Amino acid sequence: MMYLTRRERFCSAHRLFREEWDDKKNLEVFGKCSHKNWHGHNYFLYVTVKGKLNPETGFVVNIKRLSTIIKEKVIENLDHRNINIDVDFMQGKIASTENLAIGIWEQLKPSIEALGIELHCVKIQETENNFVEYFGN
Amino acid sequence: MMYLTRRERFCSAHRLFREEWDDKKNLEVFGKCSHKNWHGHNYFLYVTVKGKLNPETGFVVNIKRLSTIIKEKVIENLDHRNINIDVDFMQGKIASTENLAIGIWEQLKPSIEALGIELHCVKIQETENNFVEYFGN
Amino acid sequence: MMYLTRRERFCSAHRLFREEWDDKKNLEVFGKCSHKNWHGHNYFLYVTVKGKLNPETGFVVNIKRLSTIIKEKVIENLDHRNINIDVDFMQGKIASTENLAIGIWEQLKPSIEALGIELHCVKIQETENNFVEYFGN
Amino acid sequence: MMYLTRRERFCSAHRLFREEWDDKKNLEVFGKCSHKNWHGHNYFLYVTVKGKLNPETGFVVNIKRLSTIIKEKVIENLDHRNINIDVDFMQGKIASTENLAIGIWEQLKPSIEALGIELHCVKIQETENNFVEYFGN
Amino acid sequence: MMYLTRRERFCSAHRLFREEWDDKKNLEVFGKCSHKNWHGHNYFLYVTVKGKLNPETGFVVNIKRLSTIIKEKVIENLDHRNINIDVDFMQGKIASTENLAIGIWEQLKPSIEALGIELHCVKIQETENNFVEYFGN
Amino acid sequence: MMYLTRRERFCSAHRLFREEWDDKKNLEVFGKCSHKNWHGHNYFLYVTVKGKLNPETGFVVNIKRLSTIIKEKVIENLDHRNINIDVDFMQGKIASTENLAIGIWEQLKPSIEALGIELHCVKIQETENNFVEYFGN
């Protein structure tokens, strides 16, 4: 078993809030991340897949192909967009890094499994101090 | 003469567009940076000052004091905000990294000169691939 | 299960030595790390917790709260201090990165479990070339 | 159990291709990585070992000793060399990062186990966007 | 005057040697960089331009356009290539980082000046420990 | 003219204080950096030299030779040492990054000029947020 990781990047706006809460309550729970006019991040996305080596290529998977899948399924939807407003798979969810990781996992899983390999981990780095990792359950 | 640099960070939303242009023209000139629902970045700000060493402290300036000035004059206005909507010194300007550097320079210059040192450079890193530097003229 | 990691930093002095050994023996075993007048590092601490998402917030835990716990229980004791002399939980131990990781684990575990989540990993990066990870057993 | 990681670096040339395939087929499968006159990388190698702490030293293992083993068994063979031509343990294999990780694992395992500790992971970062991890099976 | 920098990357093979010198002499002068089967690097290229702000866009220059010029004039010639063998503008020169910087400067200068801005600096980072900067004279 | 930069690292203990001041005054001026039992840093040192290219080698200077000079004149005196106690060229000075830059400049200048090139800049990065640059006057 070999683990292969591809890093991609996206720059998005978002805000953390619950519509049914007033501004004061949102501020109390989410702090400055609830600011009503949005803020944003340079997100780093690390997608780790695992599988056996293809003896013909010495690859788990062609990393260009993996990169193309991540770009088509995830980056094109997120980059230079507003996570709360523009991203289908985040509708009705709080735009936390945790929920984003789950959403990205679900976007990627079918296409990656179709390659005959497993999706192992989705890691999202929001700032140099914060990141989350999701392993699918 | 010694040059001292302090790094600070801010996470903001913005978009590049001219109000008098329609969406098509904005897209043509500014690309995906003109997206109407905003996007955002983790900006890194590097403020370089220069001056003689204070013989009593061995400092150009106490870097805590420099950090406090940058936070009060710049970061508090920008961090977890929308550069186009929320930031006084960016009103009526395109929210480009270049204009942001000039705006930050003007915010910082009086307070830094009041310390008896010179403001030498404002550098803003928008992504790992892009940064600007402004030296005041 | 979601894994959330917070990075904090501390700048400390330390030295590696056993009191019952003479200088020659300490030098033999610990090399230049045994230098009697101390040396120091910018340590990077990565604390990883795991837990279920709170459906109300979309968080494993509010990362500000996690950061506050790490700062109160660990960073305030270590930052701009001497690990051998000043740090209660390192008394009687060799100030190796490994022992530091165990000490920090023990400092953090009760407060993190009190939040209803698990402490998963304490990682300490001592230099760009060396780091340790401790998972609690 | 404590996990200790040492980073080392090597700068090598390589190319990805199968001798029995013609240029067109190699280009189709391996893209520009098949270029006949070679290209190269600054590789970062992260070797993670695990073991119990030695109560006398507070170490899993003396990291200098680990570094020496990695340099003697791996870096000296790879650094400023051509992976396809010059490296014994890569002969007859495609010079993919995956195969390199397996090759390095096999080079390191006996010497590391001779220290009474386990080899846990070989991670190779080929570019800032791509890395592989191998855990020995 | 505003300074704008774009980072691009290329992965190349090279070797340092003089044809008229024998292996011993090349080894003496160039060390392991003279290895006959090549080695390689992940090079980081930083191109800094300077100019006045375009009042309509708030840009020195559209950074996409700058990136396209760098890719067309430089990266396509260098990336996944052998600097000694494959790169027109390096023929007859020692493939040192210094000569590479001069060669890249000359490749870029006409196209950048055609945009009405100045080329200020070409910086090449060969490893995390070594880089050169060239300002055109 | 070409500018060439070499990065070296050292891990040292230090403290900021004036002997003639009491603890309260030192704390007031130098904050936690005055802590009496020392603290420390991983310092990054960037030494920039400038000169014409040697037409035979394509080098400003052999970077190995530059590295050796920096190690012999500076790093061996600083690494795994206490800047206040152990370093000859820092005696009688406050161990600020600024004074360290001047001290290193003076240590390096004669040996670098003996190579027929100029010392251009000594940059010291103390933390990821703070650095100083000294150009010799």
Write the DSSP assignment of chain E as a string of letters: -EEEEEEEEEEEEE----TTS-HHHHHHHHGGGG-TT-EEEEEEEEEEEEEPPBTTTTBSS-HHHHHHHHIIIIIHHHTTEEHHHH-GGGTTS---HHHHHHHHHHHHHHHHHTTT-EEEEEEEEEETTEEEEE---
Q: List pLDDT tens digits, range B39-68.
A: 999 999 999 999 999 999 999 999 999 999
Average pLDDT rounded to a whole number, residues F2-7: 98
- Chain E within 8 Å of F64 (Cβ-Cβ)? yes
Contact A11, B127 (CB under 8 A): yes
Contact F16, F95 (CB under 8 A): yes
Asked if D37 lies within 8 A of E86 by C-beta distance, the reply is yes
Closest CA to D38 of E80, C41, A130, B15: E80
Q: What is the pLDDT of residue E137?
A: 87
Q: Which residue has better confidence, B18 or C137?
A: B18
Q: What percent of chain D has pLDDT over 90?
A: 99
Contact E71, E52 (CB under 8 A): no
Report the distance separating Cα E58 and Cα C23, nearest Å.
64
- Chain B within 8 Å of F91 (Cβ-Cβ)? no
E30: chain D residues, CB-CB within 8 Å:
none
Q: What is the pLDDT of residue D4?
A: 98
Closest CA to D126 of D4, D14, D5: D14
| Percent helix / strand / coil, chain A, rounded to 5 | 40, 35, 30
Average pLDDT rounded to a whole number, residues D93-100: 98
B80: chain A residues, CB-CB within 8 Å:
32-33, 35, 39
- Chain F within 8 Å of E28 (Cβ-Cβ)? no
Average pLDDT rounded to a whole number, residues D113-135: 98
Asked if B135 lies within 8 A of E7 by C-beta distance, the reply is no
Q: What is the DSSP code string of C11-25?
A: EEEE----TTS-HHH
Report the distance separating Cα B109 and Cα F65, nearest Å.
42
Q: List pLDDT tens digits, range D64-80.
A: 999 999 999 999 999 99
Q: Which residues on neighbouring strands pair with residue E12, listed in sequence order?
A: E41, E81
C130: chain D residues, CB-CB within 8 Å:
4-7, 63
Q: What percent of chain C has pLDDT over 70?
A: 100
Report the distance separating Cα C122 and Cα C46, nearest Å.
6
| Residue D102: pLDDT over 90 | yes
Report the distance separating Cα E56 and Cα E37, nearest Å.
52
Q: What is the pLDDT of residue A118?
A: 98
> What would the two tokens of residue C15 be?
């030295």
- Chain F within 8 Å of E128 (Cβ-Cβ)? yes
Q: How confident is the model at residue C47 (pLDDT cuts 50, 70, 90)?
A: very high
> What would the two tokens of residue C71 be?
């700062």
- Chain A within 8 Å of D91 (Cβ-Cβ)? no
Asked if E130 lies within 8 A of F5 by C-beta distance, the reply is yes
> What would the two tokens of residue D63 be?
């990291």
Asked if B127 lies within 8 A of A81 by C-beta distance, the reply is no
- Chain C within 8 Å of D56 (Cβ-Cβ)? yes
Nearest to D132 among A3, A62, A64 (CB): A3
Substitution target in B132, B134, B137 with the highest count of E β-carbons within 10 Å is B132
List alpha helices for B71-125, DSSP H. Answer: 76-78, 83-86, 97-113
Q: How confident is the model at residue D99 (pLDDT cuts 50, 70, 90)?
A: very high
- Chain D within 8 Å of E2 (Cβ-Cβ)? no
Name the residue of chain B whose CA is nearest to A126's CA: B42
Our answer on whether F and B touch (3+ beta-carbon pairs < 8 Å) is yes
- Chain E within 8 Å of B32 (Cβ-Cβ)? no
Question: If 0-12 CB within 10 Å is exposed, 13-18 middle and 19+ buried, where does residue C49 land?
Answer: buried
β-strand pairing of E130-134 with E118-127: antiparallel
Asked if E3 lies within 8 A of B132 by C-beta distance, the reply is yes
Residues, chain F, total? 137
Q: What is the pLDDT of residue C3?
A: 98
List alpha helices for B1-75, DSSP H. Answer: 23-30, 63-70
Torsion (CA) D6, F87, F134, E132 in degrees, nearest 10: -40
Q: What is the pLDDT of residue E10?
A: 98
Average pLDDT rounded to a whole number, residues D85-94: 98
Q: What is the pLDDT of residue F137?
A: 87
Name the residue of chain F whose CA is nearest to C128's CA: F42
User: Is D121 one of the annotated active-site residues of the chain?
Assistant: no
Q: What does the mean pLDDT of chain E come to?
A: 98
Which one from D11, D80, D113, D133 is the annotated catalytic residue? D80
Asked if F1 lies within 8 A of E137 by C-beta distance, the reply is yes
Q: What percent of chain F has pLDDT over 70?
A: 100
Q: How confident is the model at residue B137 (pLDDT cuts 50, 70, 90)?
A: confident
A95: chain C residues, CB-CB within 8 Å:
58
| Residue D124: pLDDT over 90 | yes
Asked if E99 lies within 8 A of F53 by C-beta distance, the reply is yes
User: Is A121 one of the annotated active-site residues of the chain?
Assistant: no
User: Is F126 one of the annotated active-site residues of the chain?
Assistant: yes
CA distances from C21 to C29, C93, D63, F89 (A): 10, 14, 20, 31
Which one from E8, E33, E106, E121 is the annotated catalytic residue? E33
Neighbours of D75 (CB within 10 A): 18
Question: If 0-12 CB within 10 Å is exposed, 13-18 middle and 19+ buried, where does residue A137 land?
Answer: exposed
Instruction: List Cβ neighbours of F45 (8 Å cut-off, separation of 6 or more).
Output: F7, F8, F9, F10, F70, F74, F75, F104, F122, F123, F124, F125
pTM for this model (two decimals): 0.98
Q: What is the pLDDT of residue D137?
A: 87
- Chain F within 8 Å of C79 (Cβ-Cβ)? yes
Q: What is the pLDDT of residue C137?
A: 87
- Give the amino acid at E97: T
Report the distance separating Cα E47 and Cα A55, nearest Å.
41
Substitution target in B129, B134, B137 with the highest count of E β-carbons within 10 Å is B129
Tell me if residue D33 falls in helix, strand or coil.
helix
Our answer on whether C and A touch (3+ beta-carbon pairs < 8 Å) is yes
Asked if D29 lies within 8 A of A4 by C-beta distance, the reply is no
> What would the two tokens of residue C40 be?
């120091």
Report the distance separating Cα C105 and Cα E84, nearest Å.
53
| Residue D48: pLDDT over 90 | yes
Q: List pLDDT tens digits, range F16-38.
A: 999 999 999 999 999 999 999 99
Closest CA to B11 of B50, B48, B45: B45
Q: What is the pLDDT of residue E21?
A: 97
Q: List pLDDT tens digits, range E53-72.
A: 999 999 999 999 999 999 99
Asked if F94 lies within 8 A of B4 by C-beta distance, the reply is no
Neighbouring chains of B at 3+ CB pairs under 8 Å are: A, E, F
- Smallest CA–CA distance, residue A4 to chain B, in Å, is 23
A81: chain B residues, CB-CB within 8 Å:
35, 37, 39
Q: What is the pLDDT of residue A18?
A: 97
Name the residue of chain A whose CA is nearest to B15's CA: A80
| Parts of chain E with a pLDDT under 50 | none
Q: How many contacts (CB atoms, under 8 Å) link E and F? A: 51
Nearest to B38 among A9, A41, A82 (CB): A82
Q: What is the pLDDT of residue D56?
A: 96
Asked if C63 lies within 8 A of A130 by C-beta distance, the reply is yes
Closest CA to F81 of B23, C103, C59, C36: C36
- Give the angle B121-F61-E24 at the CA atoms, nearest 5°: 150
Q: Which residues on neighbouring strands pair with residue F11, listed in sequence order?
A: F42
Residues, chain D, total? 137
- Chain D within 8 Å of A42 (Cβ-Cβ)? no
